[in-house]
Amino acid sequence: MILVSGATGGIGGEICRLLGQAGVPFKAMCRKPEQVEHFKGEGVEAVLGDFDRPETLDGVMEGCDRLFLITPPTPDQVEQEKAAIDAAKRAGVARIVKISASDGNIRSTVPWAKSHALIDHYLRDAGIGWTILKPTAFMQNFFWFKDPIAKGFLPQIAGKGSVSWVDTRDVARVAAKVLTEDGHNHATYFLTGPETLDMKEAASRLSKVTKHKVRYLDLPNPIFKAILRLTGNSRWMANGLVAQFSDVVAGHHDIDPTFEIKRLTGVAPRSFTDFVRDHRDAFVRSN
Ligand SMILES: NC(=O)c1ccc[n+]([C@@H]2O[C@H](COP(=O)([O-])OP(=O)(O)OC[C@H]3O[C@@H](n4cnc5c(N)ncnc54)[C@H](OP(=O)(O)O)[C@@H]3O)[C@@H](O)[C@H]2O)c1
């Protein structure tokens, strides 16, 4: 039995879909009763568990031999994942498949990159089986800017820096594969898309697919940060995103394509053009 956390999120939701399609037994972990009811209504076994309430985790992990572990980027991420790892160990889970980040580094100025590095170290040392997936930046991050993109602008602070963008559907495909196969214990996989694109090229692909001109606006950091704050991001998140794009991306510290997705699943990852084509409507309609 596999326990899938983050079942209501992008990667976790896609894993549930893939496991369901393959007829693999799994339980979807959610933190709200209405989410559990929604899954049950779809014929999916679902359980209530909250990483902020470790007392809820022992019961949900009982009888599970694999755990898909994902948490959103927040200041509580390290504590949440440590609590999950401890509970999994108590429940006798054999292996955890964890979503980490390709730029994980305990000296990073990016808060979630530092958190993932700390959690990766904790997990490797926990005396439980593990597989660590380290994706680069998600193509789905472009949804953050769908309204300005629909108006013809891609606001960023990445200079000429580039990213080997990966589609979360491909990350989920790898996760579903390594959750259901042996031979991945104590393995760390760096997951990327098939090519490395800077923001100018990303804007050009958006223009081609949507058939309206999208210009990359390379903004000063304070203006980008103000936009993030005005669109509802916390100060912590806004500072982190500024560090992510101006230190890591503009500083040319993203990784090259690794081709691991094709090697692990037999199917090549989606290109950025594929991603935009699949979500064309989101980038042409402004709210
Ligand atoms: N964005 C990127 O480019 C990128 C790149 C590499 C790695 N990553 C990593 O990928 C991970 C996923 O990020 P995301 O923002 O894309 O996730 P997401 O799809 O929004 O999923 C987060 C999931 O966690 C659940 N959750 C939140 N708080 C919880 C709690 N206290 N207990 C149990 N479940 C909880 C959410 O449930 P609700 O529906 O109830 O909120 C949701 O299902 C992060 O660790 C991030 O650092 C991101």
pLDDT grade, residue 286 (50/70/90)?
A: low
What percent of the chain shows pLDDT beyond 90? Answer: 99
C-alpha 15: how far from chain center: 12
Q: What is the mean pLDDT of residues 104-112?
A: 96
pLDDT of residue 132: 98
pLDDT in tens, 9-53: 999 999 999 999 999 999 999 999 999 999 999 999 999 999 999
What percent of the chain shows pLDDT beyond 70? Answer: 99
pLDDT of residue 101: 98
Does 112 contact ligand 1 (Cβ within 6 A)?
yes
pLDDT grade, residue 137 (50/70/90)?
A: very high
**Those residues with Cβ within 8 angstroms of residue 44's Cβ, 6 or more apart along the chain or in another chain:** 16, 20, 28
Does 99 contact ligand 1 (Cβ within 6 A)?
yes
| Domain annotation for the chain: domains and CATH numbers | 2-135 (3.40.50.720)
**Ligand 1: distance of its center to the CA of 113 in Å?**
14
Q: What is the mean pLDDT of residues 191-210?
A: 98
**Ligand 1: distance of its center to the CA of 70 in Å?**
6
Question: What are 28's two structure tokens?
Answer: 């979807």
pLDDT grade, residue 287 (50/70/90)?
A: low
Q: How high does pLDDT run on average in the chain?
A: 97
pLDDT grade, residue 285 (50/70/90)?
A: confident
**Ligand 1: distance of its center to the CA of 99 in Å?**
9
